[in-house]
Amino acid sequence: MTSRCLVRSASVRDAKALRNIRLEALADTPEAYGSTYEESAKWSKLKWRWIAKSWNYYLGECDGVVCGMASGGTNEDHPGTWWLYGMYVTPSARGSGVADLLVERVSSWARAQGASELFLHVTASVGRARAFYAKMGFRENGATIVMERDPSITLVTMVRSLV
C-alpha cells in the first residue's frame, strides 16, 4: 500500500504535533539543530502554541500522521535572503517523498516573497542530509559557519536557485 503524503502550514492547533516532531528531530540528530532537546522539552504549551501560530512552519503528513517539518524564514546575518530551517523527516517516512514536498513548499513560500534563491545551513557531518539537499538542487556556495551553541559543529551553507 502506498502512503499518501502532503505538506500543510502549521497552525496553533498543531502545537502538540509540532512539539512532538521537533523533539523527535532533536533526539534523532541533535547536531543538526541550533536548539537542544533539553531546552525545547522545557518550553510551555503556551510557547509551543505561539511558535505554531507565529513561525512559518510546515508539517509533512503521511496517511494523516505528522512525520516531518520544515520552516521558512529570513536571516538577520544575511539581509534580503530567504532560508530553509529545521528540516526533518521521521526515519519511517524517509523515501516517501514528504521531504521533497517540504522543500518545495518552503521554496514556493520564498518565491512568493520575491526570492530568487533559497539558502540553508546543513551540518557538515550529516552526509545523508547534504546528499538529499544536493539531489533537490542545492549547491554548496563555499561558506561555512560554526554552530553558535556548539563551536565543534561546522555548518555548510547551500543555496538553491528558485528561478
Q: Which of 3, 1, 5 is nearest to 105 (CA)?
A: 5
pLDDT computed for residue 2 by the predictor: 59
> What's the rounded mean pLDDT across residues 50-68?
96
Length of the chain in terms of residues written: 163
pLDDT in tens, 15-56: 999 999 999 999 999 999 999 999 999 999 999 999 999 999
Residues 5-161: name the CATH superfamily: Gcn5-related N-acetyltransferase (GNAT) (3.40.630.30)
Q: Residues 6 or more apart from 84 whose CB is under 8 A from it?
A: 70, 71, 72, 103, 106, 107, 118, 119, 120
Dist. CA 5–CA 61, nearest whole Å: 5
Does residue 108 surpass a pLDDT of 60?
A: yes
Confidence of residue 3 (pLDDT cuts 50, 70, 90): confident
> What's the rounded mean pLDDT across residues 79-89?
97
pLDDT in tens, 114-157: 999 999 999 999 999 999 999 999 999 999 999 999 999 999 99
Does residue 1 surpass a pLDDT of 60?
A: no
> What's the rounded mean pLDDT across residues 69-88?
96
C-alpha cell of residue 34:
541550533
> What's the rounded mean pLDDT across residues 106-119?
97
